[in-house]
Amino acid sequence: MSTRRFLRFPDGFIWGTATSAYQIEGAWNEDGKGPSIWDTFCHEHPEKIYKGQNGDIAADHYHRWQEDVGIMAELGLKAYRFSISWPRVLPEGTGQVNPKGLDFYDRLVDALLERGIEPVVTLYHWDLPQTLQDKGGWPWRDIVHAFAEYARVVAGRLGDRVTWWITHNEPFVMALLGYFFGDFAPGIQDFPAAIRAAFHLLLSHGYAIQAIRSTTSRPVKIGITLNLSPVHPASDSEADRLAAQRMDGVLNRMFLDPIFFGRFPEDMKALMGPLVPEISPEDAQVLTTPMDFLGVNYYSRAVARHDPTFPVMELAQVHPEGSEYSQMWEIYPPGIYELLMRVWKDYSPQLILVTENGIPVPDGVDFDGRVRDERRIRYLRDHIAQVHRAITDGAPIQGYFVWSLLDNFEWAHGYQMRFGLVYVDYDTQKRIIKDSGRWYAQVIRENGVWVEG
């Protein structure tokens, strides 16, 4: 006989959902917005995106934000993580502010607060103003000051109401997919440039913290969101074990060590030699500017196999047989527990927020108008249970955000991947709360999940 257990979360636990500007807003050239590198990338390289799609309209959130906030209220969200489009606020990247851009986010924040939904603002979710890419983009050192200026402008407007700030989303993806693999905007393939980009993203995070703190008078909580994964070796062999260590270095420690310790990992310096930037004592100070929380995005683990043809970056990923897979990744719920415990023990962040977790499901609307995404419910339940386990074991986790509120433009995968708790019919822009959305609303109401056994 199966029994059910309820896993209760601590009082005040922050249940949220996440989105990003380019993936949902649309209105790519309206009301004075400047072009971003994602506008350029999609328009100039349709062959790099599924069916040549783009975010020109996306989920049309720029026009439908009121309806969307209404849906959030219906779900009972405690918090909503969204990103600000830098070129909507500063069309040229620096200098002239676009008042209509700021007004949009200003109204959104007010509407959220009126419904008792805490705004969690991500400053940068990959949509760099094209003008700044033209000057060199993230590999260019002076960009850190442009980012600090942007942070000051946004904090100057929203800082009287917004408590939670995230400087960057997933600098690994921005740096490596944008400047090395070239699958994402700006589509550059240059390894040394990618490493410089990573360094400047992290450095600009430190400058942005300082900018936000000096602009706002209310007590704020500022952090960064990293995409992290536990890395397991594909076999017991020494070669695979070392490969997993290297992959862990590139994926996790190259981003965690600079902001917590002010240095790059020794083994990465030995591996990449002069490609790893020297960190001056002044830069180390900026990198380690105290932050209030670490945001962790988790989707899957990584499994590493040694690949002699790829000596620097060990990204020879293996897909273990017998595992369950989604359209994009292996489904591995214990990985989030392992990761959260590791990050807590090795880096001692004051607080941790799980800023993204979710699964693409090829959802469809049934005859009766319902979207039965049972698989997403299972994925979320199993991961939330692992988060609960980490909390029980002492990790200071204060919130959990489902990626995503709405189906949206999943970068190079276009609209093929549906991550939403809310279905979007892209022909009509009609929204339908999926079964997972109703299920998540119950999780929030009860402040916990029911699990079997």
Residue numbers at the binding site for ligand FCB (CB under 6 A) = 20, 23, 169-170, 173, 227, 297, 356, 403, 410-411, 419
First to last CA, the chain: 9
Measured from the CB atom, is 248 or 283 closer to ligand FCB? 248
Task: Say which of 170, 314, 330, 410 is annotated catalytic.
Answer: 170
As a whole number of angstroms, the distance between CA 194 and CA 31 comes to 33
Give the bridge partners for 81, in sequence order: 18, 120
Measured from the CB atom, is 68 or 410 closer to ligand FCB? 410
Find the shortest distance in angstroms from Cβ 329 to ligand FCB.
9
Find the shortest distance in angstroms from Cβ 357 to ligand FCB.
10
Find the shortest distance in angstroms from Cβ 19 to ligand FCB.
8
Find the shortest distance in angstroms from Cβ 377 to ligand FCB.
18
Task: Say which of 25, 330, 356, 410 is annotated catalytic.
Answer: 356
Q: Which of 123, 200, 218, 215 is nearest to 162 (CA)?
A: 218
In sequence order, what E strands does 298-338 have? 302-304, 324-325, 330-331
At residue 343, φ and ψ (nearest 5 deg) are -60, -40
The alpha carbon torsion through 17, 223, 390, 417 (nearest 10 deg) reads 40
Contact 108, 68 (CB under 8 A): no
Measured from the CB atom, is 397 or 417 closer to ligand FCB? 417
Find the shortest distance in angstroms from Cβ 414 to ligand FCB.
11
Measured from the CB atom, is 38 or 344 closer to ligand FCB? 38
Give whole-number Cα distances, 143 to 167, 263, 275, in Å. Answer: 14, 20, 19
**Helix, strand, coil share of the chain (percent; to 5):** 45, 15, 40
Unique residue bearing structure tokens 């807003």: 25
Measured from the CB atom, is 167 or 169 closer to ligand FCB? 169
Verify whether residue 170 is a known catalytic residue.
Answer: yes
Verify whether residue 238 is a known catalytic residue.
Answer: no
Residue at 237: amino acid letter: S
Residues acting as catalytic residues:
170, 356
